[in-house]
Structure 1
Amino acid sequence: MPVHIIPRPSQDRGNADHGWLKTFHTFSFADYYDPEHSSFGSLRVINEDRVLPGEGFGTHAHKEFEIWSYLVSGELEHRDSLGNVEILKRGDVQLTSAGTGVRHSEHTAGSVPVHFLQIWARPSTPHLQPQYYTRHYTDAEKADKWVKVVAPITEEGVKPEREADGPTPVHGGVTMYASLLSPGKTLEHLVPGKEGDGKQRKVYVHVIQTSGYNEGAAKGNEVRLSGGGNDVLLKEGDGAYVLATGGETLGLENVGQGKAELVLFDVDAE
């Protein structure tokens, strides 16, 4: 099958300014509901949040989700019913495998707002015992190349320890990559799967809003996503669904003036 690229413009996502919280929802979440954008395979939530100092999300419960935070700027304090207390900073990824149930809270630490992505995926195995993982990835590691920041715990080389090097373990079929792409530079991504098997694969690309919150409209850096003879321009806050078969190659070129921060998800169908 050919490569299909379906843009998800920032201005079409759910967004809200609550004063203490400025947020964008790629998929249906909270008061935002759109049946055409409720999930993508096992990927259920991509929220881009900014929270003012002294504010945050009070203690609340989760179960049967893999939930992780990707820190863009500022500091985020995490507390949970497993006894974990941690302040997360730029480059950190913190993942909670909620399993049978966990309670946690997240608040801005320090004197500046925190900017982070909150991501949820459905686990491949139900009724797991809750687990907690943290990893750190430097800007130098991400410079003009992909870094695998989240990967299935069953994948070779993924370490099950709370803190370790390599990808953050997830109990589900999602792999997440991150990059800081310089102007004029290009990255490629090989869609996983056996070439010629005819099976459809899912990829989601998102350009992080590093230039700031803009009430739903994308701005700032610009990236060209291409594959199978198709291409689309993505500004900050924009994303794109990609449907392809294994062995296809996607290209991402920074056609803007500044460094673009990108994340990419390979997603298993449920």
Structure 2
Amino acid sequence: MGISPKIVPRLSQDRGHANHNWLKTFHTFSFASYQDPQHEQFGSLRVINEDRVLPGTGFGTHSHREFEIFSYVVSGQLEHKDSMGNIEVLKRGDLQLTSAGTGISHSEKTYGSKPVHFLQIWSLPSVQRLQPKYFTRHFTDDEKRDTFVRIVAPVDAEDVLKDSREGAGPAPVQSPLTLYATLLSDGKSLTQSIKGSKGYIHVVQTSGYNTKAATGAAIKVTGAPGVEMELREGDGAYLFFEQGGDLTVENIGDKTAEVLLFDIE
């Protein structure tokens, strides 16, 4: 296939980060007061924020347009309210996707007595001025154990429910990207085919907020013989392929690694 892969690290301590007391956050790409021209977006992928929000607080009502916005809940509970009338409490395993289209307003706040840890991800839609829509999918830990589960996929991809607010299978995104998730046990490895020319991998920082060099779960990412990299919690990497290829992820640590993998066309 003429594969010529390249793996470029995006280390956890190099991400933008801020501690606002009520919110502890990391930014993979330029966001809010963190601006880095070397990390603005990657294909249609525009935002990966890893947020921790204290109880009784959150993001008040604010507006968006022309973004695909999805939240991946790691721990705690997140209360979502929006101008389309959706009110929902999201928990671990939930994947919520809002296609903002011509415009929506929403709020995202911690629900209950424990902090919420979630990843907020934005992508750029392929078509503008679409009608806003809202979707929720749930994927259990057992479903994600030692396999890559497709949790977000392009709206025209196979097995995608385009209009159902809830249902089985991946949430439909109006962007040319697919998102996989896994809980990879120590000693286990997975190989996933990447169809696009690029990808991005992120190891969720499950062991706690840490602005220094990454610790915790460890994986080795291999794109081809001799093209490999070790990553730990909070670390990520840009993936480049000529015409797609296979990516192998191996857990080389002593604890489960929670991993998100983007296939970007």
Runs of 4+ in structure 1 displaced over 4 angstroms? none
Partner of 1:197: none
Matched, 1:164 2:167: yes
Q: How high is the TM-score relative to the length of structure 1?
A: 0.95
- Out of 16, 19, 24, which is 2:18 matched to? 16
Partner of 1:211: 207
Partner of 1:176: 179
Partner of 1:220: 216
Residue type of the partner of 1:208?
A: V
Residue type of the partner of 2:198?
A: K
Equivalence map 1:146-165=2 (5 Å): 146-160=148-162, 161-165=164-168
Distance 1:14 1:144 in 2: 30
What SS does the corresponding residue of 1:31 show, helix, strand or coil? coil
| Unaligned segments of structure 2, at least 5 residues | none
Distance 1:58 1:247 in 2: 40
What SS does the corresponding residue of 1:100 show, helix, strand or coil? coil
Partner of 1:190: 193
Q: How high is the TM-score relative to the length of structure 2?
A: 0.97
Matched, 1:237 2:239: no
Q: CA deviation at 1:44?
A: 0.1
Distance 1:228 1:262 in 2: 19
Distance 2:114 2:51 in 1: 14
What SS does the corresponding residue of 1:37 show, helix, strand or coil? coil
8 Å CA contact 2:161–2:172 kept in 1: the answer is yes
Q: CA deviation at 1:114?
A: 0.2
Matched, 1:255 2:252: yes
Residue type of the partner of 2:235?
A: D
Corresponding pairs, count:
261
Distance 2:255 2:241 in 1: 29
What SS does the corresponding residue of 1:220 show, helix, strand or coil? coil
8 Å CA contact 1:13–1:216 kept in 2: the answer is no
Residue identity over aligned pairs, in percent, reads: 60
What SS does the corresponding residue of 2:216 show, helix, strand or coil? strand
Distance 1:171 1:165 in 2: 18
Partner of 1:202: 198
| CA RMSD of superposed structures (Å) | 0.9
Q: CA deviation at 1:217?
A: 3.0
What SS does the corresponding residue of 1:141 show, helix, strand or coil? helix
